[in-house]
Amino acid sequence: MKIGIIGTGHIGTAFAGHVAKAGYEVIISNRRGPDSLKEIVDQLGGNTRAVTVEEAAKADVVFVSVPFDNLKDALAGLPDWEGRIVIDPTNAIVFLDFKPKDLGGRLSTEVFTDLVPGARVVKAFNTLDAALLAQSPDVAGGKRVIFISGNDHEANKTVKELVKTIGFLPITLGSLDTGGRLQHFGGPLPSHNFVDLPK
Protein backbone atom coordinates (compact mmCIF):
# COMPACT_ATOMS: atom_id res chain seq x y z
CA MET A 1 0.00 0.00 0.00
CA LYS A 2 1.35 3.40 -1.02
CA ILE A 3 0.84 6.26 1.42
CA GLY A 4 0.84 9.86 0.23
CA ILE A 5 1.37 12.74 2.63
CA ILE A 6 0.38 16.30 1.80
CA GLY A 7 2.05 18.68 4.23
CA THR A 8 5.34 18.13 6.04
CA GLY A 9 4.89 20.09 9.23
CA HIS A 10 5.24 18.48 12.64
CA ILE A 11 2.17 16.21 12.40
CA GLY A 12 2.84 15.11 8.83
CA THR A 13 6.48 14.37 9.55
CA ALA A 14 5.62 12.47 12.75
CA PHE A 15 3.16 10.28 10.85
CA ALA A 16 5.64 9.82 8.00
CA GLY A 17 8.25 8.59 10.46
CA HIS A 18 5.99 5.81 11.72
CA VAL A 19 4.79 4.60 8.32
CA ALA A 20 8.29 4.72 6.84
CA LYS A 21 9.65 2.70 9.76
CA ALA A 22 6.85 0.14 9.26
CA GLY A 23 8.02 -0.43 5.68
CA TYR A 24 5.28 1.31 3.70
CA GLU A 25 6.05 3.07 0.44
CA VAL A 26 5.77 6.71 1.50
CA ILE A 27 5.57 9.71 -0.82
CA ILE A 28 5.70 13.13 0.81
CA SER A 29 4.81 16.50 -0.64
CA ASN A 30 4.37 20.16 0.18
CA ARG A 31 3.53 23.37 -1.67
CA ARG A 32 7.23 24.24 -2.11
CA GLY A 33 7.94 21.18 -4.24
CA PRO A 34 10.03 17.98 -3.98
CA ASP A 35 13.42 19.74 -3.97
CA SER A 36 12.57 21.35 -0.62
CA LEU A 37 12.08 17.93 1.01
CA LYS A 38 15.49 16.31 0.53
CA GLU A 39 16.49 16.73 4.19
CA ILE A 40 13.24 15.19 5.43
CA VAL A 41 13.53 12.27 2.98
CA ASP A 42 17.07 11.60 4.21
CA GLN A 43 15.88 11.78 7.81
CA LEU A 44 12.96 9.40 7.28
CA GLY A 45 14.87 6.83 5.25
CA GLY A 46 13.14 3.61 4.30
CA ASN A 47 11.11 3.60 1.10
CA THR A 48 10.43 7.35 1.18
CA ARG A 49 10.61 9.87 -1.65
CA ALA A 50 9.48 13.40 -2.33
CA VAL A 51 6.87 14.11 -5.01
CA THR A 52 4.44 16.81 -6.09
CA VAL A 53 1.16 17.31 -4.25
CA GLU A 54 -0.65 15.98 -7.33
CA GLU A 55 1.27 12.71 -7.19
CA ALA A 56 0.85 12.32 -3.42
CA ALA A 57 -2.90 12.75 -3.87
CA LYS A 58 -2.98 9.67 -6.11
CA ALA A 59 -1.67 7.28 -3.43
CA ASP A 60 -3.85 4.49 -2.00
CA VAL A 61 -4.12 6.33 1.33
CA VAL A 62 -3.53 10.08 1.57
CA PHE A 63 -2.73 11.89 4.82
CA VAL A 64 -3.54 15.61 4.56
CA SER A 65 -1.60 17.47 7.22
CA VAL A 66 -1.82 21.18 6.57
CA PRO A 67 -3.17 23.90 8.87
CA PHE A 68 -6.95 23.96 8.77
CA ASP A 69 -7.07 27.51 7.40
CA ASN A 70 -4.80 26.47 4.50
CA LEU A 71 -6.78 23.40 3.43
CA LYS A 72 -8.74 25.09 0.66
CA ASP A 73 -5.61 26.37 -1.06
CA ALA A 74 -3.63 23.16 -0.46
CA LEU A 75 -6.32 20.96 -2.02
CA ALA A 76 -7.42 23.29 -4.81
CA GLY A 77 -7.13 22.01 -8.36
CA LEU A 78 -6.65 18.35 -7.49
CA PRO A 79 -8.66 15.83 -9.53
CA ASP A 80 -11.57 13.82 -8.15
CA TRP A 81 -10.40 11.46 -5.42
CA GLU A 82 -12.19 8.44 -6.97
CA GLY A 83 -12.88 6.63 -3.71
CA ARG A 84 -9.34 6.81 -2.34
CA ILE A 85 -8.95 6.92 1.44
CA VAL A 86 -8.06 10.33 2.83
CA ILE A 87 -7.06 10.69 6.48
CA ASP A 88 -8.04 13.96 8.16
CA PRO A 89 -5.76 14.74 11.14
CA THR A 90 -6.62 18.44 11.20
CA ASN A 91 -8.06 20.55 13.99
CA ALA A 92 -9.91 23.83 13.50
CA ILE A 93 -8.23 25.98 16.14
CA VAL A 94 -8.00 29.68 16.89
CA PHE A 95 -4.37 29.46 17.92
CA LEU A 96 -3.86 32.63 19.93
CA ASP A 97 -6.80 31.68 22.15
CA PHE A 98 -6.41 27.89 21.64
CA LYS A 99 -10.15 27.48 21.21
CA PRO A 100 -12.30 25.90 18.47
CA LYS A 101 -12.98 27.96 15.36
CA ASP A 102 -16.59 28.95 14.76
CA LEU A 103 -17.66 26.80 11.80
CA GLY A 104 -21.33 27.68 12.01
CA GLY A 105 -22.25 24.48 13.83
CA ARG A 106 -20.41 22.21 11.38
CA LEU A 107 -17.72 19.73 12.35
CA SER A 108 -14.24 20.42 11.01
CA THR A 109 -14.30 17.08 9.20
CA GLU A 110 -17.49 18.07 7.38
CA VAL A 111 -15.65 21.11 6.02
CA PHE A 112 -12.64 18.91 5.19
CA THR A 113 -14.82 16.37 3.36
CA ASP A 114 -16.26 19.07 1.10
CA LEU A 115 -12.71 19.82 -0.09
CA VAL A 116 -11.94 16.22 -1.17
CA PRO A 117 -14.91 15.26 -3.38
CA GLY A 118 -15.14 11.54 -4.03
CA ALA A 119 -12.80 10.59 -1.17
CA ARG A 120 -13.56 8.21 1.67
CA VAL A 121 -12.60 10.39 4.63
CA VAL A 122 -11.38 8.91 7.90
CA LYS A 123 -10.76 11.16 10.91
CA ALA A 124 -7.64 9.99 12.77
CA PHE A 125 -4.36 11.18 14.33
CA ASN A 126 -5.83 14.51 15.44
CA THR A 127 -6.09 13.99 19.19
CA LEU A 128 -2.35 13.84 19.99
CA ASP A 129 -0.01 16.79 19.70
CA ALA A 130 2.90 16.41 17.29
CA ALA A 131 5.52 15.72 19.96
CA LEU A 132 3.53 12.82 21.40
CA LEU A 133 2.61 11.45 17.98
CA ALA A 134 6.29 11.38 17.02
CA GLN A 135 7.19 9.27 20.05
CA SER A 136 7.11 5.50 20.26
CA PRO A 137 3.57 4.11 20.53
CA ASP A 138 4.82 1.76 23.25
CA VAL A 139 4.23 3.24 26.72
CA ALA A 140 4.83 1.45 30.04
CA GLY A 141 4.08 -1.92 28.49
CA GLY A 142 0.95 -0.61 26.76
CA LYS A 143 0.01 1.07 23.50
CA ARG A 144 -0.79 4.70 22.78
CA VAL A 145 -4.33 5.06 21.37
CA ILE A 146 -5.36 6.47 17.98
CA PHE A 147 -9.07 7.13 17.49
CA ILE A 148 -10.74 6.53 14.12
CA SER A 149 -14.07 7.75 12.71
CA GLY A 150 -15.49 7.46 9.23
CA ASN A 151 -18.61 6.74 7.23
CA ASP A 152 -17.11 3.95 5.11
CA HIS A 153 -16.62 0.65 6.93
CA GLU A 154 -13.89 -0.64 4.61
CA ALA A 155 -11.97 2.63 4.77
CA ASN A 156 -12.15 2.56 8.57
CA LYS A 157 -10.92 -1.03 8.51
CA THR A 158 -7.96 -0.14 6.27
CA VAL A 159 -6.91 2.75 8.51
CA LYS A 160 -7.38 0.58 11.58
CA GLU A 161 -4.95 -2.00 10.16
CA LEU A 162 -2.48 0.76 9.28
CA VAL A 163 -2.65 2.10 12.84
CA LYS A 164 -2.03 -1.39 14.23
CA THR A 165 0.86 -2.00 11.84
CA ILE A 166 2.71 1.13 12.95
CA GLY A 167 2.31 0.07 16.58
CA PHE A 168 -0.58 2.09 18.01
CA LEU A 169 -3.87 0.79 19.39
CA PRO A 170 -6.75 1.80 17.10
CA ILE A 171 -10.17 2.49 18.59
CA THR A 172 -12.97 2.93 16.07
CA LEU A 173 -15.66 5.35 17.21
CA GLY A 174 -18.15 4.96 14.38
CA SER A 175 -19.38 7.47 11.82
CA LEU A 176 -18.05 10.97 11.31
CA ASP A 177 -21.21 12.40 12.84
CA THR A 178 -20.85 10.28 15.98
CA GLY A 179 -17.14 9.60 16.43
CA GLY A 180 -16.05 12.70 14.59
CA ARG A 181 -17.98 14.77 17.10
CA LEU A 182 -15.94 13.19 19.91
CA GLN A 183 -12.69 13.84 18.02
CA HIS A 184 -13.62 17.38 16.93
CA PHE A 185 -11.42 19.99 18.62
CA GLY A 186 -13.55 21.22 21.50
CA GLY A 187 -14.89 17.70 22.08
CA PRO A 188 -13.75 15.33 24.83
CA LEU A 189 -10.86 13.52 23.08
CA PRO A 190 -8.33 16.00 21.63
CA SER A 191 -5.27 16.92 23.69
CA HIS A 192 -5.52 13.78 25.83
CA ASN A 193 -2.85 11.08 25.74
CA PHE A 194 -4.78 7.81 26.09
CA VAL A 195 -2.76 4.65 26.67
CA ASP A 196 -4.09 1.09 26.82
CA LEU A 197 -2.09 -0.41 29.68
CA PRO A 198 -1.69 -4.14 30.34
CA LYS A 199 -4.04 -5.59 32.91
Mean pLDDT in each 10-residue stretch from start to end of the chain (199 residues)? 96 97 97 96 95 97 97 94 97 88 94 97 97 96 98 98 98 96 95 92
pLDDT for 170 equals 98
pLDDT for 192 equals 93
pLDDT for 199 equals 81
Determine, yes or no, domain membership for 198.
Answer: no
Q: Which strand (E) or helix (H) includes residue 114? A: helix 108-114
Instruction: Give the C-alpha separation, 98 to 82, whole Å.
Output: 35
pLDDT for 81 equals 96
Determine, yes or no, domain membership for 179.
Answer: yes
Determine, yes or no, domain membership for 168.
Answer: yes
Determine, yes or no, domain membership for 197.
Answer: no
pLDDT for 79 equals 86
Instruction: Give the C-alpha separation, 149 to 199, whole Å.
Output: 26
Neighbour tally for 5: CB within 10 Å: 28
In sign, the C-alpha dihedral spanning 124, 129, 135, 136 is negative
Instruction: Give the C-alpha separation, 190 to 19, whole Å.
Output: 22
Determine, yes or no, domain membership for 172.
Answer: yes
Determine, yes or no, domain membership for 14.
Answer: yes
Determine, yes or no, domain membership for 199.
Answer: no
pLDDT for 96 equals 78
Neighbour tally for 160: CB within 10 Å: 18
- Tell me the pTM: 0.96
Give the CATH number, domain containing residue 185: 3.40.50.720
pLDDT for 95 equals 80
CB 74 within 8 A of CB 7: yes
Determine, yes or no, domain membership for 103.
Answer: yes
Number of compact structural domains in the chain: 1
Find the domain containing 28 and state its range. 2-189
